[in-house]
Amino acid sequence: MEKVMQFEREQGFQPRDVSKENRGYDIESRDPNTDHLRFLEVKGRVKGAETVTVTKNEILTGLNRPDAYILAVVFVEGGTAEAPVYLHRPFSQEPEFGAASVTLKLAEILGRANTERI
């Protein structure tokens, strides 16, 4: 979380931790130039991990706010967090009825998502 908050501040955004509010994302980040909000869900993974698990709420939030939602994956190696990888529009469909969470293959979502925009 702190690595993403730091990265957001370095990019000129104003991040706020909302992770305890169960909104479907962890950080609400304001662009001070446009006043637009971005919604970042942070997933920390050990470097080399093959999967990441996202909740139904996270997926639905991402599908409902596709232009503002970012899945931020932070790889950790030896206790050190790397710069986050931002995945825009990371989800393509709703989870099945009754699913509480979904496990995604990192290679697939990293390859499919738009990682070019900040």
Q: Which two tokens stand for residue 79?
A: 């206790």
Q: H or E stretch including 9? A: helix 2-10
Q: Is the dihedral of CA 107, 108, 110, 116 positive or negative?
A: positive
Range of the domain at 74: 2-112
pLDDT at 117: 47
117 part of a folded domain: no
pTM summary value: 0.91
Q: Give SS3 for 103.
A: strand
54 part of a folded domain: yes
User: What's the rounded Cα separation, in Å, for the pair 68 and 90?
Assistant: 11
Q: Average pLDDT of each block of 10 consecutive residues along the chain (118 residues)?
A: 96 97 97 97 96 97 96 94 92 93 91 58
Residue 96's domain is classified under what CATH number? 3.40.1350
- Measured in degrees and rounded to the nearest 5, phi and psi for residue 11 equal -85, 0
Q: Is the dihedral of CA 94, 70, 54, 104 positive or negative?
A: positive
- Number of structural domains the chain divides into: 1
